[in-house]
Amino acid sequence: MIRVVGTAGHVDHGKSALVEALTGTHPDRLREEREREMTIDLGFAWTTLSDGTEVGFVDVPGHRDFIDNMLAGVGGLAAAIVVVAADEGVMPQTREHVAILDLLEVPRAVIALTKIDVVEEAEWPDLVEEEVRRLLAPTRLRQAQIVRVSSRTRQGLDELRAALTRLLGEAPPARDVGRPRLPIDRAFVMTGFGTVVTGTLLDGGLGIGDETVVLPAEMRARVRGLQTHRTSIERAVPGSRVAVNLSGLDAGRLARGDTLCAPNTLRPTTRLDAHVRVLPEAPVGVKHGQSLKLHVGTVDVLARARVLEREVIAPGEEGWVQLLLDRPIVTDERDRFILRRPAPSATLGGGVVVAPHPERTHRRRDPRVLQRLEQMRGGTRDERVALLLADGGPRRISDLAEALGIEVGATREVLSRLESAGLVRRLGEEGAGEVGFVAASWWASTAERTRSALDAFHRTYPLRPGMPREDLRRRLGLEARQADWVFAGLVDDGVLTLDGARVARRGFEPRLSEVEERKLAELRTRFAASPAMPPSVRECREAVGDELWNLLAGRGEFVELSPEVALEADVYRRWVDEVRASLERGEVVSVAEVRDRFATSRKYALALLEHLDAIGLTLRVGDERKLRLPSGQNSGSVPG
């Protein structure tokens, strides 16, 4: 078992000395740190406890000027050692570090009362312990054991080791969802190896030869080597400190705050939904529109807060915010974070990421938004998938997996359970293209909205064969891919029929009124009386109305040769067949020849030939036409 433990505490309270006493390795790695006798950046060391547990220590700086570096080191900890010097007691950075550990919900800690050997007054350590207990009382660390130690005389070190062994033995295994991610805290070049990145591995294992990507810059690399505590390994496990040797990447392009992960498992974000708790001792609350510094994992980024419930979350209060980031970062659902005021710098509070990829900027003070966020915050994985589906149209499995930060296989299992329970509807068929999923409630609502929209359209336009497909898609608020899924599903459910670019209720047929039937009979009489020179299109529209004429032309009862000329369908087919037959026999076909053949006028003959040119049956050569298509072929535009 490998665990990561972090230190916390005020500057000069002996954190680095304690780590060295426990491990035999001084964690300060910068010459400046040794010269100033003060940790500036993160330090690292390791040891093995009596039960065989390997412990990697992350030693963080205690000075307030280096709090950003401290925050980069406290992600992914199994436990913390809070260091309080017995000769000084609780100091400002003690308070801030404890508050940060509580906000990040570091699950367990032990308190090391250091420098116990320099305290001369016998009752003083008891007073310091009381002060520490008061500090921890309102936090999740209130039950932490206090151990009196001296790094110089080694007093209490065995007791501290025993406390750590017991504490880590109670800890559950690190979460493993099969999707590794490594928030990078260091990137450097190592002679003979090349580019190396380090961090605490989360959510999945990483092996030699694995393909990886560094986000947000989308840089691909392969794992060339792995080390934990300077020991080469074949595979790193989640919850461990790991150094990753990468091939194909220049270390100069990497930085603290980048994330190493498996390809196609995470994506950067510039917007996230979060629940925030403001510290009671914070100098100010979190205000709507306020610029803050967000610390999550190893990254820090400027963010603008959109407070969703009110104007300000006051000190000691909690609330919902949407954070708009000034550059892309990688974070995941349920990641803990800290919010700080940039200037003058101060820790204001922290919270949890509930949705790392919200699809939109939320409306403020919207009860539905707040209710959904509360459900997302406390829901199981199945419940969160159902909520995502209920909030919009059909989604692909890969989209859901990405939104939730889980593997496609795990998402498929969730959807299978929800489908079996009747909570989710599958759209499309496996192997026949992409498959989409919707919440059953969304599907029922959409089917009803579709019925209502089509019924209203048919009442308004009873002579039209159907509603334009694009109009219905926009009415339902669907993307093109979603519309394909939804309309196919509604066809399967017997809600509608599709005919090209038109959509109609199942069973709908345009029905003519008695008046319209009479107008149509009169129009047919006029065409029959003069089949070679019938009424113009304008006269037809005036006789029966635009809606009825469009229906008749759409059904092929009359064929518009041009905006002015129309023929009755049987006459049209006879003329076309005769022209084609003449051309196939090699006869000359011209406007004059067609005029004389059909005893019509030049206007109708010209309209017919230009129509046949337009549909690809004939080709004009001078004043004559020749056959464009071989015998036996016809254009789909010609009624048959």
**Distance, C-alpha 502 to centroid of its chain:** 33
Question: Which residues, given as ranges, of the chain have pLDDT below 50?
Answer: 29-41, 62-63, 65-66, 631-637, 640
Residue 60 lies in a domain: yes
The verdict on 190 and 164 lying in the same domain is: no
pLDDT for 310 equals 95
- The count of structural domains within the chain is 5
SS3 12: coil
Residue 633 lies in a domain: no
Whole-angstrom Cα distance, residue 65 to residue 199?
Answer: 22
Residue 635 lies in a domain: no
Residue 100 lies in a domain: yes
Q: What is the CATH number of the domain that holds 151?
A: 3.40.50.300
The verdict on 149 and 50 lying in the same domain is: yes
Whole-angstrom Cα distance, residue 551 to residue 458?
Answer: 13
Among residues 236, 261, 286, the one where a domain terminates is 261
The verdict on 352 and 481 lying in the same domain is: no
pLDDT for 64 equals 56
Residue 634 lies in a domain: no
The verdict on 496 and 544 lying in the same domain is: no
The verdict on 431 and 501 lying in the same domain is: yes
The verdict on 525 and 613 lying in the same domain is: yes
Give kind and range of the element (H or E) at residue 61.
Answer: none
Q: What is the pLDDT of residues 277-300, one digit of tens each?
A: 999 999 999 999 999 999 999 999
Q: What is the CATH number of the domain that holds 500?
A: 1.10.10.10
Beta bridge pairs of residue 2: 54
Whose CA is closest to 306, among 356, 352, 365, 372?
365
Residue 175 lies in a domain: no
Whose CA is closest to 128, among 110, 116, 143, 142?
116
Q: Note the helical H segments in 13-64.
A: 15-23, 31-36
Can you spell out the DSSP letters for 163-228? Answer: HHHHHHHTSPPPPB-S--EEEEEEEEEETTTEEEEEEE-BBS-EETT-EEEEETTTEEEEEEEEEE
pLDDT for 393 equals 79
pLDDT for 531 equals 95
The verdict on 18 and 164 lying in the same domain is: yes
pLDDT for 439 equals 92
Among residues 478, 494, 511, the one where a domain terminates is 511
Among residues 151, 170, 189, the one where a domain terminates is 170
Write out the two tokens for 327.
């550059």
The verdict on 287 and 257 lying in the same domain is: no
Write out the two tokens for 107.
């699950």
- Which residue range forms the structural domain that includes residue 134? 3-170
